[in-house]
Amino acid sequence: MIAQAKFDQGYVDAVTQVGKVHARIGLEPRWYIGGYALILEKLIAGVVEARWPKTRFGGKIEGATDRASEVAAIVKAAMLDMDYAISVYLEASEAARRDAEAKARAIEETKAAERDRAIAYVREGLGALAQGDLTHRMAADIPPEYAAIRDNFNEAVERLQEMVGTIKSTSISIANSSREINAGADDLSGRTEQQASALEESAATTEELAASVKTSAESSRRSVLLADEATAVARTGGTIVKDATEAMARIEAASKKISEITDVIDGIAFQTNLLALNAAVEAARAGEAGRGFAVVAAEVRALAQRSADAAKDITGLIASSDTEVGEGVRLVRLAGETLEKIVDASARVSATVGEIAQASLEQANGIEEMSQTVSHMDEMTQQNAALAEESAASARTLMDQIEQLNRLVATFRTDHRAQQAATAARRAA
């Protein structure tokens, strides 16, 4: 890249990569500079040889090699001077770094010794504090840098000693008050339990009454539903009877039409019989020539006779059917009137039962509200009883904790000044 004079970003990246490799393998600058001196010698020789004047016929003119050697020597001398200067600079920097590290190490060792001594004082003070000795104070010859720790520790122990003394005297008063609270809580708990028991019995009785009335109201409601269903069934029956009456009327009309048709058929059969009789008479007059026609006329007469007989039978059946249909229409009409009376009676029964159900429901709601009120009072009383029991248990627990606190505070050792200060503070309170 140097020979091509390309000093772009690629050149910068390549030089950076080479520098990182040299730093990673620990290559000193002198070797790097020496390598550049050798490379520059070759580059200068090549450049001088390429640019050195030539003869007219293209031959080489002597002196190029000497000039290249002279320039390379100057460059090597400059590189050597650079090598010496950089080496001296690096050695001086390394010496200054080692001297600074030695001074820092000495300072750190001094600080470590002072820190160890301060830690020893703190350990001693914390050990005494862990044993419950509140009379111990940290030594005054602690290093100045840790004097704040000593002052804070001594002040904290002094205040802790005063607080422990106050706790000792206060816990006795609290214990006496707790005994009184415990006795009152036990008495309140007993009376509340008696009240809760009586109210619970009242609540149970009210709930039974409410359940009974509610059952009665539910039965009345079901009676209303059954009456409504009976009324609906009766109305449906009335509709069916009405439809049956109309159907019977249609059957009666159809029977009349069929009777008319059979009358027509009977008339046709009579006319056919007469025509067949006339045909037979004419066939007899014709003699042998009309014998075949006479046979046909006889068959026609027989067929006409059967048609007339069938028409008579149908007419008789239709007459009988008309009588039965008329009786059926009368009975169906009578059944319809009876069903209408049943519907009216069912409606009146349903209305009466509905009024009874409404009254029972209102009564059930009133008793339900009263039952809820009693239940709420019972619940509140039960909660009061539970709270009273919890208060009694808390009072007993408080007494146990105060006794435990007294035993715990007794493990601390304090001087007479702390006890006097605690007594004065209690009196002031």
Per domain, the residue ranges of the chain are: 2-109, 154-411
What's the confidence (pLDDT) of residue 1? Answer: 58
Question: What angle is formed at CA 424 by the lines to CA 423 and CA 427, rounded to 5 degrees?
Answer: 85
Report d(CA 227, CA 394) in Å as an integer. Answer: 62
Buried residues in 169-194 as b, exposed as e (16+ CB within 10 A): bbbeebeeebeebbeebeebbeebbe
pLDDT bin (cut points 50, 70, 90) of residue 291 is low
**CATH topology assigned to domain 154-411:** Helix Hairpins (1.10.287)
Over residues 336-343, mean pLDDT: 75
Is the per-residue pLDDT at 424 higher than 60? no
Is the per-residue pLDDT at 425 higher than 70? no
Dihedral over Cα of 9, 15, 19, 22: its sign? positive
Is the per-residue pLDDT at 75 higher than 50? yes
Percent of the chain with pLDDT over 70: 84
Q: Which two tokens stand for residue 109?
A: 């060792």
Q: What is the pLDDT of residues 405-420, one digit of tens each?
A: 777 777 666 765 555 5
pTM strictly above 0.75: no
Report d(CA 125, CA 114) in Å as an integer. Answer: 17
Over residues 158-181, mean pLDDT: 77
Report d(CA 214, CA 225) in Å as an integer. Answer: 16
Q: In 3D, which of 204, 200, 201 has the Cα closest to residue 383?
A: 200
Over residues 44-65, mean pLDDT: 71
Question: Do 292 and 268 form a contact (C-beta atoms < 8 A)?
Answer: no
How buried is residue 23: exposed, middle or buried, by Cβ count under 10 Å (0-12/13-18/19+)? Answer: exposed
